[in-house]
Amino acid sequence: MAMAQSGPSFFETVNLYFDKAAALTDYPQGLLDQIKVCNSVYAIQFPIRRNGGYEVISAWRAQHSHHRVPVKGGIRYASTVDEDEIKALAALMTYKCAIVDVPFGGAKGGVRIDTKKYTVQELEQITRRYTAELIKKNFIGAGIDVPAPDYGTGPREMAWIYDTYSAFYPGAIDAMACVTGKPVTQGGVRGRVEATGRGVFFGLREVCNQVDDMKALGLSRGLEGKRVIVQGLGNVGYHTAKFCQEAGCLIVGLSEREGGIYRAEGLDVDAVVQFQKETKSIVNFPGARNITPTNLTLEADCDILIPAALEGQLTRDNAPKIRARIVAEAANGPTTAEAEKILLDRGVLIVPDIYLNAGGVTVSYFEWIKNLSHVRFGRVGKRFEEASFERMLSAIEKATGRSFPPEERLKIVRGADEIDLVNSGLEETMITAYHQVHELWKFTRAGDLRTAAFLSALRKVAATYLELGIFP
C-alpha cells in the first residue's frame, strides 16, 4: 500500500517534475499550463446489490490531455483510489505515451474497492456498471477513450468491458478497439499480459549497457550478475523478475504485502511464486531470510531495486537507507519528490516510471491497431516470408555445396508470428525512447533521467499543439 506523506500530493508531485522540465524550455506559459492541466474528470457514484442490500461504489475516469485522441489509460481497482491519484496517473500516461511515440493522450480510471472482499459476480456487476456509466458520458470508445488493465484488473475485466460496450453498440465494426488488454480469444494481442514487465526488462537492459554510466556507479556493463530486489510480485513484478533472471541477474530479494524474503545466493522466481500459490504467502520460503515489515526489503543490499507495486514507496524516511545503485521504477510514482532528491544527492541512478513502464501502453497500441485492422499480426506475410527465406537458403546451399541440418533450416526460414512482431516492436520502442531521453540527460541541463524524460515528453506534446496552430 502507498505510504502516507505530509508533502505534496501525487498529482502535485507529477506537476513539480513537469515544472522542473518546463523551466528548461522557452514555451509560452499558456501552452505549458494547457499541457499540465487535467482536461476532464468524471466522478461517478453508483449502487450495486450486495448482501441483501445496496452498496454505493465510487469511481473516476480522468482524461488528462486531448492533444491526441483517443486518450489511453488503465483502470485501477483499489481501496486507496481517489481523484488525485487518478489525475496523477492520467498525467503520467500523457507523458509516457509521448516518450515512446504512441499517438494517444493520457487517461486513467479507478474504482474504489478492495477486490479481495468481492465475489467474481460482484466484480463483474461493478465492471459492467462502471462501463455503462462511461458510455453514458461518452468516456469510452475506439476513437475517444480506450481503457486497459492496471492494478487490481486484468484480461477478465477488459473482456467484461468489451462485452458491455458491444451490447450498447451492436454491430459497431470497431467495438473491439474500445479497450485493450483483452484475452487473445476476445481480440487481445499475444504478449500483452507480460508487456509491462518485458518493457521494464528491455529498458533496464539498455540502461545497464551504457558503459560510462555504469562505470560512474561502480558497476560493470550489462545485466548479467547484477543483484536485484523486486518489490511486488503481481503481473509487472513477476515478469520483470523473470526476464531479469533469464538474462543472468541474481534475484536476491522479493517482497509482497505480507513481508519480504532475501537470499544473497539468489532466489528462483518461479519456485517462489509456486510456494506463494501453495501457502498464500512468500514468507518462510525455504532457504531465504524473512524480512518484516515488508518495506524493509527496499533497504536490503542490492545493485538494482525495482519497485513494482504502488506509488509512494520510497520516501524521505527510507531513502537514506536505500543501498541500491539503480532504482528502476516499474510502478507508477513509487518515489516521492523528497526521496528523489535524497537519492540523487547520494548518486543513485533513478530510471523513471514514465519511461520504464511504458511497455504496457506500447503493446496496448499494437492491440488497438490489430483491432482496427481486423487482422492478426503476421497472418498476411508469414508464409510469404518463409517461402522467400526458403528460396534464399536453397540458393546459398547450391552456391556453397553445404546443406543445412533440418532443425537449423527450420529456424532460419521461420516467418514471424504475432508474438515475435509484438516483442520486436516493444524492444525497438524501448531502446529508441531510452536513447532520446539519454541524449537529453547528457546534452541539456536536465540533470537527471526523470527531468530528461519529462523534457522529451513536453517537447513532443508541445509540438503537437504548435502544429495545430493553437499557440502561435
Measured CA distances, 351 to 143, 376, 437 (Å): 32, 34, 10
- In the chain, how many H helices and how many E strands? 16, 12
Does domain 10-188+435-468 fall under CATH 3.30.70.100? My reply is no
Distance between CA 324 and CA 351 in Å, rounded?
A: 12
- The rounded distance, in Å, linking the Cα atoms of 460 and 21 is 13
CA separation for the pair 376, 421 (Å, rounded): 11
Using DSSP's 3-state secondary structure scheme, residue 388 falls into helix
Q: Identity (one letter) of the amino acid at 15?
A: N
| pLDDT for residue 315 | 92
CATH 3.40.50.720-classified regions of the chain: 195-356
Give the three cell numbers for residue 161: 468491458
Q: Would you tell me how many other CB atoms lie within 10 Å of the CB of residue 472?
A: 5
pTM equals: 0.91
Cα separations in angstroms, 244 against 100, 151, 370, 397, 445: 22, 21, 29, 38, 32
Look at residues 403, 468, 461 and name the one whose alpha carbon lies nearest to residue 104: 461
Residue 108 bears catalytic tag: yes
Integer Cα distance of 200 and 216 in angstroms:
22
Q: What angle do CA 242, 205, 92 make, to 5 degrees?
A: 90
pLDDT at 3: 43
Confidence (pLDDT) at 471 = 65
CATH number assigned to the domain covering 195-356: 3.40.50.720
What are φ and ψ of residue 326, in 5° steps? -130, 130
pLDDT on residue 36: 94
Catalytic residue among 87, 108, 226, 370: 108
What does 44-113 look like in DSSP terms, one character per residue?
EEEEEEETTEEEEEEEEEEE---SSSSEEEEEEE-TT--HHHHHHHHHHHHHHHHHTT---EEEEEEE--
Type and span of the H or E element at 370: helix 359-373
Say if CB 70 and CB 142 are below 8 A apart.
Answer: yes
Q: What is the pLDDT, as a whole number, of residue 462? A: 95
Residue 221: per-residue pLDDT: 96
| Block mean pLDDT (10 aa), the chain, length 472 | 62 94 95 95 95 94 96 96 96 97 97 96 97 97 96 95 97 96 95 94 97 95 96 94 96 93 94 94 93 88 93 91 96 91 96 95 96 88 82 86 85 85 95 97 93 97 86 60
CB of 323 within 8 A of CB of 239?
no
Domain with CATH 3.40.50.10860 in the chain: 10-188+435-468
**Amino acid in position 14:** V
How many other C-beta atoms can be found within 10 angstroms of the C-beta atom of residue 193? 20
Closest CA to 132 of 78, 59, 80: 59
Distance CA 62, CA 70 (A): 13
In sequence order, what E strands does 150-293 have? Answer: 227-231, 250-256, 259-262, 289-291
